[in-house]
Structure 1
Amino acid sequence: MLVAERHRKIVDVVNEKLSVRVTELSKIFKVTEETIRRDLEKLEKENLLRRSHGGAVSIQDEQTEVSYTEREITNAAQKRAIAIEAVKLIEPGDQIVLDASTTAWYMAKEMPDLPLTVLTNSIKVAVELSKKEQVRVISTGGMLQPKSLSYVGPLAERSLNMYHVNKAFISCKGVHIDAGLSDSNEWQALLKKQMMFIADQTILLADSTKFGVRTFAQIKEIQNIGRVITDDSIDDSYSRALEEKGVLLQIVKI
């Protein structure tokens, strides 16, 4: 296969999967991991993808929202394992906020029927929690984002301002040690920032492919997070950096 053809196909794979690891690309194209790293470096310079630690992520339509169907199948095993671990942090009587991420939806599915109050801007999370008799669900309302089935905008932000919660469980598109948390959609970024503001503590739910990534709209700096739950593919350098920032890191085995 010619180099140019490999580059084109790498971009196709990244855009299809949204995120992919160097090891996986190495197996697909039957070249060394070092070759793939050089390929990714060149493709990033051409603004065809964005490198993350251990792989690459798509920048296709960065400011548009990815549909729920696509997000459900991207790193599904990692997201579900992270969600299961996050649910263990919830106690009876808690007041929590869940964002519109797929991981939050997995949390809603795994959550036991306990006396809780849950705020959310996600239609899918609200519907899932409606099956649990003891969980009181409050939806933000606001401007509907059809692809993610979530509410955003000034009304959603004002709705959050009325409340105070013990814990905020959020996800994001990028986790960068220096640039902080970010999202490809500005509306979602603003709402996640407000969720963090009304919470005593914030728990970040992010699979390892999100680390080293910086996307369009910043949410908050890393040190505003109390705890990060991620999978066991996270690089040691990020573990050390989070520890230096005073952030508790919780790793789940996949």
Structure 2
Amino acid sequence: MLVAERHRKIVEVVNEKLSVRVTELSKLFKVTEETIRRDLEKLEKENLLRRSHGGAVSIQDEQSEVSYTEREITNAAEKKAIALEAVKLIMPGDQIVLDASTSAWYMAKEMPDLPLTVITNSIKVAVELSKKEQVKVISTGGMLLARSLSYAGPLAERSLNMYHVNKAFISCKGVHLEGGLSDSNEWQALLKRQMMSIADQTILLADSTKFGVRTFAHITNIGQVSSILTDSKIDDSYSRALEEKGVQVKTVKVAE
């Protein structure tokens, strides 16, 4: 395969899967991981993709939200494993806030029917929690974002000012040591920042493909996160660097 053709196919794979690891591309194209890294570096300079720690992510429609259907199938096994671990952190009587991520939806599906108060901007999370009799659900309201089936905007942000919660569980599109947390949509980024501000602690739910990535809208600095739940594919050096910044990192094993 010619180099130009490999580059074209790499971009196609990244755009199709939204995120992909160097090891996967190396096996797919039968070249060394070092060759793939050079390919990704060149393609990033051409603004055809964005490198992440250990792989690459798509920049197609980077400033618009990915539809819920697409997000549900992207790294689903990792998100489910992370959500199962996150549910263990919830105690009876807690007041928590959940964002509109698919990880939060997986949490809602797995959450036991305990006496809890849950604030969310996600329609899907609210519907899932409505099946649990002991869980009190508060919706933020606001401007409906159809692609993510969630509410955002000034009204949603103002509604959060009324509350204080024990824990905020949020996800994002990128986690970067210098750039902090970021998202593809500015309204979602602002709302997540507000969610963190009303919580005693913030638990970030992020699969390993999101580390080393910076996207369109800045949420907050790494230091504002209490702890991170991710999958075991995260690079050890990145995990250590996060812990050196005072952020606890817990990894979960994903079933093959």
Instruction: Give the TM-score taking structure 1 as reference length.
Output: 0.99
**Which residue is equivalent to 2:175?**
175
CA distance, structure 2, for counterparts of residue 198 and residue 81 of structure 1:
26
CA distance, structure 1, for counterparts of residue 54 and residue 165 of structure 2:
35
How far has the Cα of 1:15 moved from its partner? 0.6
One-letter amino acid of the counterpart of residue 5, structure 1:
E
One-letter amino acid of the counterpart of residue 84, structure 1:
L
**Which residue is equivalent to 1:50?**
50
CA distance, structure 2, for counterparts of residue 245 and residue 93 of structure 1:
31
One-letter amino acid of the counterpart of residue 217, structure 1:
A
**Which residue is equivalent to 1:24?**
24
CA distance, structure 1, for counterparts of residue 3 and residue 239 of structure 2:
35
SS of residue paired to 2:78:
helix
How far has the Cα of 1:249 moved from its partner? 1.0
Moved over 2 A (4+): none
**Which residue is equivalent to 1:186?**
186
- Structure 2 unpaired stretches of 5+: none
> Is the aligned partner of 1:15 residue 2:15?
yes
One-letter amino acid of the counterpart of residue 149, structure 1:
L
> Is the aligned partner of 1:91 residue 2:91?
yes
SS of residue paired to 1:203:
strand
> Is the aligned partner of 1:37 residue 2:54?
no
SS of residue paired to 1:144:
strand
CA distance, structure 2, for counterparts of residue 77 and residue 235 of structure 1:
18
**Which residue is equivalent to 2:141?**
141
CA distance, structure 2, for counterparts of residue 65 and residue 85 of structure 1:
26
One-letter amino acid of the counterpart of residue 60, structure 2:
Q
Pairs aligned (count): 254
Over the aligned positions, Cα root-mean-square deviation in angstroms equals: 0.6
CA distance, structure 2, for counterparts of residue 66 and residue 102 of structure 1:
11
Superposed, which structure 2 residues align to 1:39-78 within 5 Å? 39-78=39-78
**Which residue is equivalent to 1:216?**
216
One-letter amino acid of the counterpart of residue 58, structure 2:
S
How far has the Cα of 1:7 moved from its partner? 0.7
CA distance, structure 2, for counterparts of residue 19 and residue 242 of structure 1:
21
Which string of whole-angstrom CA distances, capped at 9 and with x for unpartnered residues, describes residues 100-126 of structure 1?
000000000000000000000000000
Which string of whole-angstrom CA distances, capped at 9 and with x for unpartnered residues, describes residues 23-60 of structure 1?
11111111111111110000000000000011000000
SS of residue paired to 1:62:
coil
Identity, % of aligned pairs? 86
SS of residue paired to 1:189:
helix
SS of residue paired to 1:133:
coil
**Which residue is equivalent to 2:227?**
227
CA distance, structure 1, for counterparts of residue 236 and residue 87 of structure 2:
25
